[in-house]
Each structure stands twice: as C-alpha cells, then as structure tokens.
Amino acid sequence: MRGGGVRPAASVDPSSKGRKTQDWLEAGCRMVIVIDPKKKAAVICRPGGVRTIIPAEGEIEGGDVVPGWRMGLLTGIPALRDLAVEIGRKPV
C-alpha cells in the first residue's frame, strides 16, 4: 500500500472492487466503509473477513474505531440522498 507508512483507522471507498478494500485492511486499517449507491447500501468491512451490510435507511457507526461518529446513509451520501428524493422518500 502506498502512503509512506500512513495507516488510517478507517477508510471510506465508493464502490470498491474488493482488492482496494483488502489492501486497506492488510495495511492495518480497522474499518473500511464501502458505499454502493447502485445497491443503495454500504458494507462495513473489518479485519478477519467480518462484514456488516447497512441498508440505505440505516446508519453507520464508528464503533471502537471512531467512537461517537454516526452517519445516516440517506443524509450523508449525496448519491443516496438524491436517489431517495427521486423515488419520493424523505431523507432522514
């Protein structure tokens, strides 16, 4: 992994192809959030293959990696917020 030894605790990747996510985790990142506007969801990936799917209506929490941080997918990701408006849903 490039970056001169910088190892973030968390990373957010739009529609990662998997290899990039694995690279982040192998470099020591403790949480990678993969946003997929087409599937209207996010996947939280952690070391050891642990994956949590968050639906568009859901909320991502930082847990022990970023304590106290939260973000609703519909309000935090413009592509999902715009999609919600298109289908007549009010973003939360």
With cut-offs at 50, 70 and 90, classify the pLDDT of residue 82: low
pLDDT of the residue at 48? 92
Alpha-carbon Rg for the chain, nearest whole angstrom, is 14
Between these two residues, 90 and 34, which has the higher pLDDT value? 34
pLDDT at 1 over 70: no
pTM attached to this predicted model: 0.71
Taking each continuous run of H as one helix and of E as one strand, the counts in the chain are: 3, 6
- Residues 4-24: pLDDT tens digits? 556 677 777 766 566 788 888
Q: Which residues contact 70 (CB under 8 A, 6 or more apart)?
A: 59, 60, 61, 62
With contact defined as beta carbons under 8 Å apart, do 12 and 42 qualify? no
- In the chain, the domains with their CATH numbers are 10-86 (3.90.1570.10)
- Residues 34-51: pLDDT tens digits? 888 778 888 999 999 999
